[in-house]
């Protein structure tokens, strides 16, 4: 059975797309910790990120770097934080989170509730800043 993120990468489930290459896909987290919270995934399904082959692993991080640069240009923040958890969705993904202070990376905090229009506007702003 395909993971929810495989279905998102194939366009079978909608997402607020940020960027895409032949192998990788970036989209907004549906329950963001901060505005611009983005997930970066390999299109091909692997559960645990450290099970990726070396080429896919390094490719994923290089793709995430370009996405993070776009987030930094589009969203006012001190840094773009990076985290890998993977306890909820069994499809390798990197969290990229605009942060201003350490507690902005606390996954236990209540998530933001943003309207569809706000998510669309954020996604468009970030994606316009990404040069692959
Ligand atoms: P983790 O597996 O790293 O613990 O968390 C999975 C992340 O994926 C969570 O931050 C959650 O909000 C996000 N997420 C779960 N399901 C969906 C979905 O269907 N669409 C999007 N865009 N994000 C999701």
Nearest partner of 89 among 5, 1, 2, 12, judged by Cα: 5
Whose CA is closest to 62, among 94, 86, 87, 33? 94
Ligand 1 atom 20: residue of nearest CA: 30
Q: Do the beta carbons of residue 13 and residue 25 sit within 8 Å?
A: no
Tell whether 68 is covered by a domain. yes
Report the separation in Å between the CA atom of 55 and the middle of ligand 1, taken as the mean of its atom positions.
Answer: 24
Model confidence over 39-76: pLDDT tens digits?
Answer: 999 999 999 999 999 999 999 999 999 999 999 999 99
Task: Give the predicted TM-score (pTM) of the model.
Answer: 0.98
| Nearest alpha carbon, ligand 1 atom 21 | 30
Per-chain mean pLDDT for the chain: 97
| Percent of the chain topping pLDDT 90 | 98
Q: Is residue 33 part of a domain?
A: yes
Structure tokens at 96: 């990229």
Q: Which residues are 91's β-sheet partners?
A: none
Query: Is a pLDDT exceeding 90 seen at residue 3?
Result: yes
Domain range enclosing 51:
4-127
Q: What is the CATH number of the domain that holds 70?
A: 3.30.428.10
Q: How far is the CA of 128 from the centre of ligand 1 (A)?
A: 23
């Amino acid at each position: 059975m395909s993971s929810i993120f495989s279905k998102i990468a194939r366009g079978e489930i909608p997402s607020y797309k940020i960027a895409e290459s032949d192998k990788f896909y970036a989209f907004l987290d549906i329950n963001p910790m901060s505005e611009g919270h983005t997930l970066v995934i390999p299109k091909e399904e692997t559960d645990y990120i450290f099970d990726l082959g070396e080429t896919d692993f390094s490719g994923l991080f290089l793709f995430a770097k370009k996405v993070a640069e776009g987030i930094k240009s589009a969203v006012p923040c001190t840094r773009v934080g990076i985290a890998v958890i993977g306890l909820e969705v069994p499809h390798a993904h990197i969290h990229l989170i605009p942060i201003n202070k350490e507690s902005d990376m606390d996954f236990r905090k209540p998530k933001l509730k943003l309207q569809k229009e706000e998510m669309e506007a954020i996604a468009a702003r970030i994606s316009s800043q990404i040069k692959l």
